[in-house]
Amino acid sequence: MYLDKVEIHGFKSFGDAVKLSIPQGITGVIGPNGSGKSNVSDAIRWVLGEQSAKSLRGSNMQDIIFAGTEKRKSLGYAEVALTIKNPDQAVPIAYTEIVVKRRVYRSGESEYFINGSTCRLKDVQELFMDTGIGKDGYSIIGQGQIDRVLSSKPEERRTLFEEAAGIYKYKVRRQEAERKLEKQRDNLVRIQDIILEIEGRLEPLSIEAKKTTQFLKLKERLKEVDINIFIFEIECIEKEIAALNELITSIELQIKDAQEEENALKKRQEKSKQKKDALYTNIETLISEISNLEKQQEKRQSQITINEEKIINIETLLGQVVEDQKAQVLDHQNKKERLSLLETKRTALEIEHASKMTIIEQEETRVNALIKALSDLEGTIDSSKEELHQKMREIDF
C-alpha cells in the first residue's frame, strides 16, 4: 500500500486545482518559509478526518477555504482527494485503488466520499485503522511532533505503538464492545426494576382484570340496548319522514298553484303597465298640445294688444283732425283769403279720414275674428282639459 496522488482544490492557499503525484520511495516537499509546504500535510490530515481547526492553524473550518486575493475571488468550498494504491490488500477492502475525498462548504456542511460513494467520518477512520494512516497516525508526523512523542506520557506513547503494531483497531473494538455491554447491563438492571414493579401490581391488576371483564360484558349489553333503541328511533324517524314527504308533496302542489297564479298576475300587471305607459304618452302629447295652444293664445293676445294700441293711436289722430277742423272753421271767418287752400286741405283730410275709417273697420273685423278664434281656442283648451281629467281618472282607476 502506498500514497499515489493528492488532489487539492480551494484548500487554504490552493486557489487552483492542484494534482500532486507521489512516486514510490522517499518523497519530500521543499520550499522557503510561507510557500505552503505545511498546507500539503494539513490537507492530508484534513481529508483523513481531522476535526480540530486549531490543529489546521485556523479558528474554524471555514478558514481552510480559499479566501481570495486582490485579483481573485474567494471560493465557496474546499476539497481534497487522496488516492492510495492497495495492491497488497493492506487495507481490508476489495479495491486495489482507494480514493478518499472530503469537501466542506462555507455554510458549514461537510461531506466524505470513499471511491465516489458518500460515507461517514467513522467509515474513513475504520478503513485506515491499524494501517498507520490517519490524522493521528505515525505515518504523518509534523514539525515538533517527534519531541512531543518522546516527552509524552507512557499512555500516549502506548497508543502510537499499538497503532504501529496493528492492535489499535481491536482495542477500539473492545472498548466499543465494553461500552455496549455496560449499556446492556444498565438495561438489565432497568428491566429487573420493571419486573419487580410489575410483580407488585399483579394482584391489583387481576382485580382490575375481573372488573374489566364485567365491564366489557355490561358494555356489550349496553351496546345491544343502544342498537335496539337506535333501530326504534330509525323506525320512528322513517314514519316522520314519510309524513313529511306527504306534507312536502302537498306544499309543492300549493306552491305550483301559487306560481301559476303569480304568473297570471304578472301578465295582468304587464298589460296594465303597457296601458298606463300608453296613457302617460297620450297625456304628455295633450300637455304638449295645450302648451302650444297657450303659446298661440299668448301670441294672439299680444297681437290684439298691439291692434288696440293702433286703434287708440288712430282715435287720437282723428281727435286731432276734428280739432284741426274746428280750428279751421274758427279761422274761416278770419282767413277767407286762405279759403281755397283750406278747402283743398279739408277735402284731403276727408279722404284721409275715409281711408282711416276703412282701416278701422278692417281692424275691427280682424279683431272680431281674433276674438272668435280665441273663444274657439278656449273651447278647445277646455275640452282638452276635460279629456285630460278623464284620462287621469282612468289611470287612477
Return the pLDDT at 363. Answer: 72
Return the pLDDT at 393. Answer: 67
Return the pLDDT at 146. Answer: 53
Cell of 289: 298640445
pLDDT at residue 266 is higher than 70: yes
286 Cβ contact list (under 8 Å, min separation 6): 384, 387, 388, 391
Nearest residue to 39 via CA among 134, 148, 142, 121: 142
Return the pLDDT at 81. Answer: 93
pLDDT at residue 79 is higher than 60: yes
161 compared with 309, residue with greater pLDDT = 309
Can you give the residue ranges of every domain in the chain?
A: 2-166, 263-396
Average pLDDT over residues 314-327: 72
Please report where in the chains the cell 302629447 appears, as a residue: 285
Average pLDDT over residues 178-185: 88
Average pLDDT over residues 62-66: 85
Write down the number of H helices and E strands in the chain.
Answer: 7, 6
Query: Identity (one letter) of the amino acid at 82?
Result: L
Q: Report the distance separating Cα 25 and Cα 28, nearest Å.
A: 10
Quick one: DSSP state of residue 26?
-
- Give the predicted TM-score (pTM) of the model: 0.40
CATH 3.40.50.300 matches 2-166: yes
- The number of beta carbons lying within 10 Å of the beta carbon of residue 56 is 20
124 compared with 131, residue with greater pLDDT = 124
Return the pLDDT at 138. Answer: 46
Average pLDDT, the chain: 78
- Axis-axis angle for helices 339-396, 202-334 (nearest 10): 160
